[in-house]
């Protein structure tokens, strides 16, 4: 899948490069300027730049806006994950306490002690006879 995705992006960037190369006079050699007139402020005119620079600036601005919107969502998800992990740890602790209480009521060995004995017998060195 990654190779297919890389091939698709290569085709897209190749197509963009082809369009820019075949229209080099428009994209690189024809200076343009932007103007902004809000009727209650003075008209603003940007410096004369090639259209390729304007395209790049607006692309970077859009990528920044999208990243900012995504960062807010990631922050909320991170907080939710932290809250859920804390709740899960608390529930796990409560479950172990209830299992220990149930084992004590039934008169069975504690669940944690049983696992520790098995682990100790497996990991302890053997005694010579």
Token pair belonging to 72 = 């807010």
pTM of the model: 0.54
Whole-number Å distance between alpha carbons of 25 and 51: 10
> What CA–CA distance (Å, rounded) separates 44 from 39?
11
| b/e burial code for range 75-96 (CB count within 10 A of at least 16 → b) | eeeeeeeeeeeeeeeeeeeeee
pLDDT tens digit at each of 129 positions of the chain: 789 999 999 999 999 889 888 888 888 888 888 888 888 888 888 888 888 888 899 999 999 999 999 998 899 999 999 999 999 999 999 999 999 888 888 888 877 655 555 554 555 555 554
């Amino acid at each position: 899948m990654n190779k297919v995705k890389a091939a698709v992006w290569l085709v897209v960037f190749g197509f963009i490069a082809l369009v820019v190369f075949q229209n080099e006079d428009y994209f690189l050699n024809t200076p343009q300027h932007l103007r902004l007139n809000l009727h209650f402020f003075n008209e603003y005119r940007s410096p004369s730049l090639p259209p390729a620079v304007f395209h790049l600036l607006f692309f970077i601005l859009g990528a920044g806006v999208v990243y900012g919107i995504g960062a807010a969502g990631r922050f909320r998800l991170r907080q939710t994950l932290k809250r859920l992990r804390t709740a899960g740890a608390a529930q796990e602790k409560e479950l172990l306490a209830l299992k220990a209480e149930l084992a004590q009521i039934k008169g069975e060995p504690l669940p944690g002690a049983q696992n520790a004995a098995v682990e100790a017998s497996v990991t302890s060195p053997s005694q010579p006879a």
